[in-house]
Amino acid sequence: RRGSKELRRVGLVSERASVREADVERERTVDRMNSFDISLVEEQDPSVSEGHKVLYDREVPFEIRNQTDPHDAAQEVGTLEAIKVKILIMGEEQNPLTLRIELTSENDLFFHFNHNLDEHGFRQVQEHQKLMVDFPEYPNVLIRMLNNCIKEPHSHLAVFVIEREGLARLDFIQNMEYKFVELLSCNFIASPEDVIRAHICFR
């Protein structure tokens, strides 16, 4: 009897071990399929079709203002909206060749603006806005400012001014209680129709 009990125990242990192994293998297969699915989705993303790498992809609270008439001042108070901000670079993260910011909205599929900059273009921005960082540091500066707008929306503002002919401007503003200080300004342009269509199909 004792021998048969031992045999049963051994059989149960080996059965449990087999079940565990099967479960582990199943989990590995699911993980492989998920990672394969994610990589497939990423490959189809129009944002990275030219070889760009995504550094940042988050929704950020923006104040949207309209200034489509050049003779009118921009709205003093705009509408608050969550805008998806994607920062992409071409080249190495420590030494990017180009940087692109894409802005999209879940509320308006045709809202699609982009900001493109290389080192030469950055030098002009650096000189005009008296920036104390070099181009390789620019992506991290943008990420820091965007995250501040998420964490401290009362003191750090992202104001997006839509101008005429598809032009726009993103101003990062800090509320110092006694005055508003503009920290950085980025020029944007509305994306072409074919780009917008590609992104709508992907989404």
Q: Say whether pLDDT at 123 is over 90.
A: yes
Q: Say whether pLDDT at 39 is over 70.
A: no
Assign 36 a pLDDT band (cuts: 50, 70, 90): very low
Phi-psi region of 133 (alpha: psi -120 to 50; beta: other; left: phi over 0): beta
What DSSP state is assigned to residue 164? S
Q: What is the pLDDT of residue 10?
A: 45
Average pLDDT over residues 166-193: 93
Q: What is the pLDDT of residue 27?
A: 66
Q: What is the pLDDT of residue 67?
A: 80
Provide the residue count of the chain: 203
Q: Say whether pLDDT at 50 is over 60.
A: yes
Average pLDDT over residues 62-80: 75
What is the pTM (predicted TM-score) of this model? 0.74
Among residues 78, 62, 56, 57, the alpha carbon closest in space to that of 157 is found at: 62
> To which H or E segment does residue 128 belong?
helix 119-129
Count of CB atoms situated within 10 Å of the CB of 155: 13
